[in-house]
Amino acid sequence: MATAEVTIHRGEFSNEPLTDFSRPENRSAMQAALKKVAGELGREYPLLIGGEKITTEDKLRSINPSRPDQVVGIFSKASAELAKRAVEEADRAFVTWKKVPVEQRAAILFRTAELIRKYKFEMSSWLCYETGKTWPEADADVAELIDFCEFYPREALRLAGPQPVTPIKGEKNQLVYIPLGVGAVIPPWNFAAAIMGGMTSAALVTSNTVVLKPSSDSPTIAWKFVELLLEAGLPRNVLQFCPGSGSAMGDTVVLHPKTRFVAFTGSKEVGLRIGELAAKPQPGQVWIKRTVLEMGGKDAIVVDEEADVDAAVEGVAVSAFGYQGQKCSACSRAIVAEKIYDQFLEKLTERVKKIKVGPADDPANYMGPVINKGSMESILHYIEIGKKEGRLLTGGKPAEVPGAKGYYLEPTVIADVKPNSKIEQEEIFGPVLAVIKAKDFDQALEIANDTEFGLTGAVYSRNPKKLRRAAEEFHVGNLYFNRKCTGALVGGHPFGGFNMSGTDSKAGGRDYLLLFTQAKSVSEKVTN
């Protein structure tokens, strides 16, 4: 492997600070990076399999949702045959990579974090163009990627240390964590840097080899991350970069008998399919495949009658419309106590009407476009259903953005939505908020828990007894009090949901790496 200098950071982990774009020097750095990256749009990128760059005839075009006529990157697409080869190359690379000491693996990740910091504004610019993230949203995504590259190596070093086992007389016992093997890493587009790089770095730092199949909507940012990993010293054959259509080559990777585990984040439908396919042993397969499946949400904020209504309005607005409502943690249901319902709606409508929509690279806009045409159509379809299921307060149609032809939608609020209606149950994944009236706190909690999901939630209340009750009864993986339900931080808010939101893992938490390892107990008889 490459022998760059090995630096081990053993200090406490702390989160990467977010960029303050009110500072002129940061604004000009971002403008300069956007300009530089704009000059690099439309380039072609290869696959990386077994350390070899491969180009194919069949191409995938990643486009800018703010200006769909702008191509961000053109990618060679992996066929099923190449996907099979990628798993086999990863299996071959595992033989040597699994023997690389943890200090070296950790050092590669720490160096990657340093490189991402160096190119932070450029990475954010790629996200602006490729995934329609505004400056602060793109910056937060990149900061989270840096956090994963700092947090997981610390965790890998910790796990490599002595593990507590009960002493037994006459024996020397130890427990060691060893890697699993080849992992298929299948991320979504909505945290195209953080989730893609988080799952990848967790797999790599624990000594697994990886087939990375980026989302077809965001392959460029994944390639940029792969380039930085290689620059940081990752051996070229350890990670296979394999863009391609999930439906066309995804099954090949998941089903392959040499695939040992799948780390997936995305929709419930695809996650369940992967779980089902992975569960069926294939000829020649000698293990039960591990699946880490992080899926959708239908997240709620409960606004109690004892809440600070202004704070709740702000928290709901940013949770519902930050990144156009396309966060798995986004608030798509506000459940509001009867007593303050009308006051809340009035203030919320006023607040939401102030949201400016337009190209993501223009910092004047709070909301950019939704990810693609299909997504826009699906969200508009839900809005039409919502207009029948409730009362449209604001929004409800494509946003008119002078001079821009992107996938823009108005932030939409639909009130008087009844529990169990379609827009109260199904994940819309766009800027659509359903507001539901609850007669009291009991009913509010009941409604909050009435979906098949259990990802994030929040409660606004000044009553500590109610908060304590919610802590016990609101069944979500990430629960927040008197603050927004988005913006989980690595280390501080280990992230992942219950029920149909996933396999109950916690990304950015202290037990996450265990999902990428298996424990081996070694016991030696000793005479004294």
Name the minimum Å distance from CB 270 to ligand NAP. Answer: 3
Q: In one letter, which amino acid is 308?
A: D
State the DSSP code for 248: I
**Whether the Cβ atoms of residue 315 and residue 483 lie closer than 8 Å to each other:** yes
Give the integer Cα–Cα distance in Å for 257 and 278: 9
The pairing of beta strand 432-438 with beta strand 52-54: unpaired
How many other C-beta atoms can be found within 10 angstroms of the C-beta atom of residue 225? 27
Catalytically annotated residue among 128, 149, 242, 328: 328
Element (DSSP H or E) covering residue 453: strand 453-454
Q: Considering only CA atoms, which of 240, 178, 252, 186 is closest in space to residue 214?
A: 186
For the stretch 28-39, what's the b/e string if a residue is b when 16 or more beta carbons lie within 10 angstroms of its beta carbon?
A: ebbeebbeebee
233/502 with CB nearer ligand NAP: 502
Write out the DSSP string of 320-368.
Answer: HHGGGG-STT-EEEEEEEGGGHHHHHHHHHHHHHT--B--TTSTT-SB-
* Residue where the block lists tokens 């940029």: 224
209/216 with CB nearer ligand NAP: 216
233/496 with CB nearer ligand NAP: 496
Name the minimum Å distance from CB 25 to ligand NAP. Answer: 32
Question: Is there a catalytic annotation at residue 328?
Answer: yes
Name the minimum Å distance from CB 242 to ligand NAP. Answer: 10
Q: List contacts with ligand NAP (CB under 6 A).
A: 186-191, 195, 213, 215-217, 245-247, 250-251, 254, 265-267, 270, 273-274, 294-297, 328, 427, 429, 455, 496-497, 501-502
Structure tokens that stand for 332 in this block: 């798509």
Catalytically annotated residue among 294, 305, 424, 427: 294
Question: Is there a catalytic annotation at residue 350?
Answer: no
Name the minimum Å distance from CB 184 to ligand NAP. Answer: 8
In three-state form (DSSP H/G/I as H, E/B as E, the rest C), the secondary structure along 250-300 is HHHHHHCCCEEEEEEECCHHHHHHHHHHHHCCCCCCCCCCEEEEECCCCEE
Query: Helices 219-231 and 194-205 sit at what angle, rounded to 10 degrees?
Result: 40
132/233 with CB nearer ligand NAP: 132
Name the minimum Å distance from CB 147 to ligand NAP. Answer: 15
Name the minimum Å distance from CB 268 to ligand NAP. Answer: 6
Residues with a known catalytic role: 294, 328
